[in-house]
Structure 1
Amino acid sequence: MPTHLIPFAKRWCRSARHSLVTRVWLCVAMTLLLASHSAHATPAYARQTGSPCADCHAGAYGPALTPYGIRFKLNGYTDTGGKGSSIPAAVQLIGTHTVPTRGDNTTQLTEADLYLAGRITDHVGGYVKVETDNTGNDHFHTKLSNVDIRYVAKELKMGGHDTTLGVSVNNSPGFEDPIGALPNAANFGPPAISGTLLNPSSPNALATRVIGAVAYGVLDSNWLGAVGTYMAMPRSTQSDFGYRPSDDPGKLSGTGYLRLAYMKEFKHQFFSAGVVGLTTKRKLPRNAREDDITDLGYDLTYQFIGNREHIVQLSYVNILEQRDYGSTFAAPFAPGLLTKSHVAAHDQTLGLTYTFKQSYGITLAYLKSTGSRDPVRYPPYGDPATTSQLITLFWAPFGKEDSWLPFANLKLAATWFRFTKFNGVRNNIFGVAPGLGAPVTNARDLDQFSISASVAF
């Protein structure tokens, strides 16, 4: 999350010049604007398998998985190098120098993470991340991040086909997916004012605030099928795990999750195509009427691995959400104008990463979130569309077989995050009326440049 936006959002939310509905939506949009792209290599797995981080990841510090890394995740994090046990824990520290277009520059320790990850038995393994974030002024907040505990039965034969069967208990729909293209698996989705439930950057998203089980099967290493269900954690449990009550995803019922994908590994390439679905009835707030929500999406991934000197990965994710609201409300500025009862939200992410010798790389991403026009829900323009781009240059010197530190790593990165549209427009995105004396904010005023250093061991 770009920390420079938080104090700006708080000041704007307190402003008496804006309507209550507008202030509420801005608070939600700004404080939940981005999910950190922090799905990195976990050294605990490298120590367990005896393989360096670069065997599982296209870059030595992640995040994209190689076919070897995909198999490791499908096998329930249980594979070993046969050299005895290792400590199933790792630590990550992230420091960032931030230069926002509007606001003060900051240099601080932004995140400290503890990973409990690895094999428990031959058939049980897991991933648990406990995250501590700097919320400003050196105040730190600890929360339970992604969890994925698995039971897996490997090397089975069914009808003459190689088969893997497993169950994943996790707290983020899509995080269990081994391909890593879905938003929760990548910890990366379009900044959204009204995004889909499967997008961790959406207001009141499901990520890390639900609990569920997904049963999956893999046939001949090519066909993946998964089905599961989720329920929202009680608000008191969310608070115990470090989450704010205002981010509650609501009360869920009848939730179903489906994932189908085809994966094909060639000699030096990998390709996958998949579909994902989520359907639920939600009460938000929990005493409200039920809304019917259905997400349907597809994703495409191509990876050129070669001899690992030059690795290119291209991915595209497209998710459409249909919502039937159980109730409507009138606009405070026009009592006869009601919200729409049937609307849609649409999230798309296109990403390209090139890595040289699994150490030097560049990531380019285009992120777009759109939705049905509704002048009551999305003042001042009635359009929730947001478009943004990400450019990251990175260097990870370790984590490879011939490295001084094959089971630990350092990553230096320079990132430019820019907005081209917010609230459906490029200029005056909050609709400040002329002559009121309030500053006009354009989409590009939300841009941010940062330099970060991450270390994992």
Structure 2
Amino acid sequence: MKLRLAQYLAAPVRHLLPALAVLAAPLLWSAPAQALPSYAKQTGQACASCHEGSLGPQLTQEGRNFKLLGYSSGAGFFPISGQAILQFTNTNQGQPGGAAEHFGENHNSSLNETSIFYAGRIAPNLGAFVQVTYDGVAQASGLDHTDIRYARSTAVLGKDVVYGLSLNNNPMVQDIYNTTPVWRYPYTSSGLAPAPGAATQLEGGLEHQVVGLTAYTMIDDLLYLEAGGYNGLGHQMRINIGVDNEDKLASVAPYWRVALQKNIGKSFFHIGSFGMHDALYPGYDRNNGRDQYTDVGFDGSWQYTPNKRHHLSAYVADIYERQTLNSSFGAGDAGARKQFLNSFNASSSYYYAGTYGATVGAFSTHGTTDAVRYPAGDIDGSASGSPNSSGYVLQADWTPLGKKDSFLYPYLNVRFAAQYTHYFHFNGGGADYNGDGRNANANDTFLLFAWLAY
């Protein structure tokens, strides 16, 4: 065991140091206009003011309010920022044929992604979060998360009211709580490790292939309401922005969100619900009707900050999806018309002095068994035809910067982390889940990463 741990630690250090050196040089010598973390510069606040652990995406009360008000609080300037995530991935067993094209079966180092953001104020009451990302695993670039907001605040019957509009390209990218799929734990995962095959529509099913407009309001810092709809982008537009997906929304997909939140003493609580209904033509095929998905989720969170040095938090969400697969069944791509999928995710974190953090999370997905939709195969197959997967994710991280007295504040922030994912079940089973002798724990993943924001 000691030898194995030593091998885990030595290999990533050997691979990551040269990459860090190469990346750090241009960061430290970049012109200020290209190197400023734009939100910190705009507001004059340190990253620790808006984020648990001094680096996103876990939001504090200040961070949620900044997002609600359209990213436009503070002085105006040209808000360009960037980030890069370097990773070393080791799975319990290798992946025959390679973890991805141009990568080996195991012990892989990668520039997982690098992004440029327009992130901040455009005009009074108008701001944007627009991300363009190069995926170092797929070796492709495209438009990533986008959220453009107009927001105002006023008083109604003596109560503070914030109201606004969000134009975005991913349902829930505009959400202010860290329970929903876009912003939930794990906030970074490996691009070179096996992942369960089944997910609800709200867990990336429409990501970056739609455009949506929602209206929202926060009433008396207590009640949050949001509603709107999403329409699919055209085929050529998807190609232009780097989206590889062959499904087409058949009509506008309605979306809704409601939450109650409250600060009680040194604790913050929220409970809420969210949902969406969408109808698709899989592969643009209109011959067999539409596949319909109705997602309903329930979530809650707790944050406790007894003083400036200690921060505890917990998040939980459960999503139930009802599926009516007329098109897929008619085309022979599903074994039954009526199916369901359920996804559960929970996590809890502790941060000390906004610098040292530890997080534990659990996840579970289960649904209708269907050997047509979930066939046997290689690593991503299911011998039982079941979508069921479950496990936990542990992470320890160190964020030495991100405070006002930090080195190069506010020009640079960085997080170093170690993460371990264990699977109890993977694609329907624990032992020999794919019918080819592979066990679920063969996909257990040890990940080291360095996350730089500049």
TM-score normalised over the length of structure 1: 0.82
The correspondence for 2:73, drawn from 68, 74, 79, is: 79
C-alpha displacement of 1:150: 0.4
Write the distance in 2 (CA, Å) between the matches of 1:117 and 1:185.
Answer: 16
Write the distance in 2 (CA, Å) between the matches of 1:270 and 1:55.
Answer: 15
Indicate the residue corresponding to 2:427 in structure 1.
423
Are residue 296 (structure 1) and residue 296 (structure 2) matched? Answer: yes
Indicate the residue corresponding to 2:151 in structure 1.
152
Indicate the residue corresponding to 1:133 in structure 2.
135
Question: Counterpart of 2:307 in 1: which secondary structure?
Answer: coil
Question: Counterpart of 1:299 in 2: which secondary structure?
Answer: strand
Question: Counterpart of 1:185 in 2: which secondary structure?
Answer: coil
Indicate the residue corresponding to 1:403 in structure 2.
406
C-alpha displacement of 1:130: 0.9
Question: Counterpart of 1:339 in 2: which secondary structure?
Answer: coil
Change (3 A) 1:52 1:100: same
Residues 369, 387 of structure 2: 8 Å contact kept: yes
**CA offset digits 1:238-280 (Å, max 9, x no partner):** 2211122xx3443241411000001112342110001001012
Residues 168, 215 of structure 1: 8 Å contact kept: yes
Question: Counterpart of 2:52 in 1: which secondary structure?
Answer: coil
Are residue 181 (structure 1) and residue 179 (structure 2) matched? Answer: yes
C-alpha displacement of 1:187: 7.6
C-alpha displacement of 1:321: 0.4
Change (3 A) 1:170 1:66: same
Write the distance in 1 (CA, Å) between the matches of 2:440 and 2:230.
Answer: 36
Structure 1: 5+ residue stretches without partners? 1-41, 333-337, 433-439
Change (3 A) 1:174 1:72: same
The correspondence for 2:44, drawn from 50, 53, 60, is: 50
C-alpha displacement of 1:192: 4.3
Indicate the residue corresponding to 1:388 in structure 2.
391
Are residue 118 (structure 1) and residue 117 (structure 2) matched? Answer: no
Residue correspondence of structure 1 range 12-411 to structure 2 within 5 A: 43-80=37-74, 84-101=75-92, 102=94, 103-135=105-137, 140-154=139-153, 156-186=154-184, 192-200=196-204, 205-244=205-244, 247-288=245-286, 289-327=289-327, 328=329, 339-379=335-375, 380-407=383-410, 408-411=412-415
CA RMSD for the aligned pairs? 2.0
Indicate the residue corresponding to 1:454 in structure 2.
451
Residues 206, 249 of structure 1: 8 Å contact kept: no
1:325 partner letter: L
C-alpha displacement of 1:412: 0.5
Write the distance in 2 (CA, Å) between the matches of 1:207 and 1:306.
Answer: 37
Write the distance in 2 (CA, Å) between the matches of 1:111 and 1:297.
Answer: 29
Write the distance in 1 (CA, Å) between the matches of 2:223 and 2:332.
Answer: 49
C-alpha displacement of 1:134: 1.1
Runs of 4+ in 1 over 6 A off after TM superposition: none
How many pairs does the alignment contain? 391
**CA offset digits 1:66-105 (Å, max 9, x no partner):** 011110000000110xxx5333011112211222221221
Write the distance in 2 (CA, Å) between the matches of 1:306 and 1:208.
Answer: 39
C-alpha displacement of 1:330: 8.5
1:49 partner letter: T
Write the distance in 2 (CA, Å) between the matches of 1:409 and 1:241.
Answer: 28
Residues 213, 229 of structure 1: 8 Å contact kept: yes
Write the distance in 1 (CA, Å) between the matches of 2:115 and 2:315.
Answer: 27
C-alpha displacement of 1:160: 2.8
Percent of aligned pairs with the same amino acid: 29
Residues 216, 226 of structure 2: 8 Å contact kept: yes
Write the distance in 1 (CA, Å) between the matches of 2:444 and 2:242.
Answer: 28
C-alpha displacement of 1:186: 3.2
Residues 331, 339 of structure 1: 8 Å contact kept: yes
Write the distance in 1 (CA, Å) between the matches of 2:246 and 2:316.
Answer: 29
Write the distance in 2 (CA, Å) between the matches of 1:330 and 1:167.
Answer: 39
Indicate the residue corresponding to 1:20 in structure 2.
none
Question: Counterpart of 1:59 in 2: which secondary structure?
Answer: helix
C-alpha displacement of 1:350: 0.6
Indicate the residue corresponding to 1:37 in structure 2.
none
1:185 partner letter: W
C-alpha displacement of 1:329: 5.1
Question: Counterpart of 1:285 in 2: which secondary structure?
Answer: helix
Indicate the residue corresponding to 1:19 in structure 2.
none
